[in-house]
Amino acid sequence: MTSKKAKIIYILATILVLIALTGRYFYNDAMILATYQSPDGKYELVIKNNRSIFFSTMPGDGGRGSLSVKVILIDADGKVIGTSNDRCSLFFDSIYVDWDYENNWVWYGKGKAIDLKTGEADC
């Protein structure tokens, strides 16, 4: 009888772990608003929602453009080079991307950039 209970507990635990892993994957995908590939293919700029998906707003608070975003710079191997910080926050509507290879910067907003080599955010 106890081995039957152990099997049931094991199966339920496995199902819960699978649900948690799947939920984390879909939660992370839901947070990504846009991606920008560099012209040379060496970098990718990922724009993520800075709020929780459970955050509620009132009617008239704006749509997707008024979301506070986090910017993440990733290399071709998927390694995170740098991210924007809270001091450099901006809204999704304020995003524009300019790849400045000569000075090793990717500009993602007015006066906001990430160094392609060091990953330091500047604003």
Q: Where are the domains of the chain?
A: 33-122
Terminal alpha carbon distance of the chain: 65
pTM, full prediction: 0.66
Predicted confidence (pLDDT) per residue in 25-64, tens digit: 554 555 788 889 999 999 999 988 866 555 555 555 555 5
Distance (Å, rounded) from C-alpha 72 to C-alpha 91? 14
Percent over 90 (pLDDT), the chain? 26
Q: How far is 18 from 11, CA to CA, in rounded Å?
A: 11
Under a CB-based contact definition with an 8 Å cutoff, are residues 82 and 118 in contact? yes
